[in-house]
Amino acid sequence: MSTLIPLPNKRRQNHYAALRRTSINSQNGSSTGINSGAVGYNYNSSRASSPALSQRSSVSYSSINGNTNSNNNNKNNSDFCQVTVRIRPFTANEWNLGNTIPVWEGNEELSTVSYSDEWIEKSNKNQLSYQYDNVIVGSDNKELYNRCVKDVVMSSMEGLNGTVFAYGQTASGKTYSMMGVENQPGIIPQAVDDVFYYIREMSKGDNEFLLRVSYMEIYNEQIQDLLSPETTNLRIFEDRRRGIYVSPLKEEIVTSAKQVMRIIQKGESNRHISTTDYNKHSSRSHTIFQMIIESKSQSSSTRSSKGSFYSQKGSSDSVKISQLNLIDLSGSEKATSDADRRKEGAYINKSLLTLGNVISKLTEEKRGHIPYRDSKLTRILQSSLSGNAKISVICTISPAGINADESHNTLNFAKRVKKVATKAHTNQVLDDKALIQKYKKEINELKVKLQVATDMSNISSSATSIDDGKKEEEMMLLKQERMKVEFYD
């Protein structure tokens, strides 16, 4: 089990003051100093157990009313990808290997990442500094979500597409950030809770919602349905109405956060996870959890006595449809000793390299050809990366010197993706193209059929009663005739 490690001297404690502030006490959620008993990056638990929906502190939902979340101190995030760098704590393995000097120092107030003084002194390197939209130091997933992801989730409830993905080398904390552990729920369970909170609040008015989810992975450049592993030959399609989508992909209609978490738990049990030279529980695939949100205001339609909807004259007869993608990318990694892991690593690195190339092309003044089709991952992300989505990228790095080169590559990726421009717009379709209206019509049709069947049953019962009465009368007459014959005989 990986745990946080106590810092050995006062100087390093000064470098990691922010980390001390964000370490979470597992008993009561309060801020504590860094010690071996604090909640750390437990990679075993983060993949083996589903995050609980309880033990979660309340968060601000002011964005529902159109206000800006006070916890969201984004800078320059309009029309550009929002990029957050997260520096995780040391793990026990890194500490045991003697990686005790932190390479990176994060300043949360200035949103900068730079070499620590100790690393500069040891490696004889010049100072290097990056600035992003947010910098998070430590293991507080609630802070990460509120500052970096919540706005994207709330926007998706208003009809804008949203994409959130974690990027970084293997064992840098991506799955911990996305899924979390029981007392530190990650981005996905917090997003699910927010979605249903929003639905409950808005449904008090005249809004209706239909939510469906899917869960897939890209393993060795093959798309697999985590909710229906037996389904084969999944392919990527594109049309004007739906955009880019995967089919045949199982979608489940959901009505509660607990139901969604059960579905995710089912999908996680089918995910490819193996032991590597760098991580005991390493994700060997990219996973994409999708939520399709349909919403409609009842004020745009009037309910008839039959239960069906018909549009008022001059009303807006449309449904908002948005897609929220929550993506856990498998980590880039060096060559490994196991042949199967080496093959998997080659596919992973190739798809991540293609993602980097696509982002580089998107940030060039003269774009030219953008190689979306060079990997399944970039093809699925094409709609988001090409502009029609709000995007939040979480780049995770290790503080250890052994990972300095990989962390440097991650920071350069974060620097490039920060330049990707987006222009998300509200997606609206006519009623007959929305699933929420399709199901409404089907329900109304079934109600009509049920009423007809009930009426026919009542008529049949009445006719049967009349027939039974006639038969009894005939039997009585027949008995009387027989009695007459017997009498005269």
Q: Give one DSSP letter per residue of 119-162, joined into a string.
A: HHHHHTPPP-EEE-SEEEESS-HHHHHHHHTHHHHHHHHTT--E
In a domain, 80, yes or no: no
Number of structural domains (the chain) is: 2
Residues annotated in a binding site? 168-175
Most distant pair of Cα atoms in the chain: their distance: 134
Is position 74 within any domain? no
Cis peptide before 371 (omega within 30 of 0): no
Q: Which two tokens stand for residue 382?
A: 């094409």
Q: What is the pLDDT of residue 422?
A: 87
Residues comprising the chain, all counted = 489
Report if residue 92 sits inside a domain.
no
Please indicate, yes or no, whether residues 320 and 452 belong to a single structural domain of this protein: no
Do 192 and 247 fall into the same domain? yes
Indicate whether 331 belongs to any domain. yes
CA distance 205 to 412: 46
Indicate whether 300 belongs to any domain.
Answer: yes
Same domain? 428 vs 457: no
Spatial neighbors of 114 by CB under 8 A, at least 6 apart, are 104, 105, 107, 127, 128, 129, 130
**Domain shared by 324 and 358, yes or no:** yes
User: Do 469 and 429 fall within a single domain?
Assistant: no
From first to last of its 489 residues, the chain has per-residue pLDDT tens of 333 333 334 334 444 444 433 333 333 333 333 222 222 333 333 333 333 333 333 333 333 333 334 344 444 444 799 999 999 999 888 888 887 899 999 999 999 999 999 999 999 999 999 999 999 999 999 999 999 999 999 999 999 999 999 999 988 999 999 999 999 999 999 999 999 999 998 877 778 899 999 999 999 899 999 999 999 889 999 988 788 999 999 999 999 999 999 999 999 999 876 555 454 555 678 999 999 999 888 765 443 333 333 344 434 567 889 999 999 998 765 655 667 777 887 888 899 999 999 999 998 888 889 999 999 999 999 989 988 899 999 999 999 998 999 999 999 999 999 999 988 888 776 555 555 555 556 666 676 777 777 777 776 666 565 566 666 777 776 666 666 555 445
What tokens appear for 245 in the block?
Answer: 């989508």
Closest among 294, 154, 130 to 212, alpha carbons compared: 294
Are both 158 and 48 inside the same structural domain?
A: yes
Instruction: Determine the pLDDT at residue 305.
Output: 38
Instruction: Tell me: do 426 and 478 sit in the same domain.
Output: no
Amino acid letter, 387:
G
Closest C-alpha to 400, from 177, 172, 138, 174: 172
301 with 218, same domain: the answer is yes
Its domain, for residue 223, covers: 10-68+136-397+420-433
Q: Which residues are annotated as a binding site for ATP?
A: 168-175
Residues 6+ apart with CB under 8 A from 84: 132, 133, 134, 135, 136, 144, 147, 148, 392, 393, 394, 395
Contact (CB, 8 A) for 79 and 421: yes
| Within-domain flag for 28 | yes
Which amino acid type is present at position 362? L
From the number of C-beta atoms within 10 Å of its C-beta (0-12, 13-18, 19+), residue 190 rates as buried
* Among 217, 242, 269, CA closest to 377: 217
Question: Is 360:300 a contact under the CB 8 Å cutoff?
Answer: no
Treating both helix axes as pointing N-terminal to C-terminal, what angle do 141-148 and 187-202 enclose, rounded to 10 degrees?
A: 60
Kindly report the number of other CB atoms within 10 A of residue 329's CB atom.
Answer: 25
State how far Cα 346 lies from the chain centre. 26
CB 15 within 8 A of CB 117: yes
Does some domain include residue 116? no
Q: Output the pLDDT for position 249.
A: 95
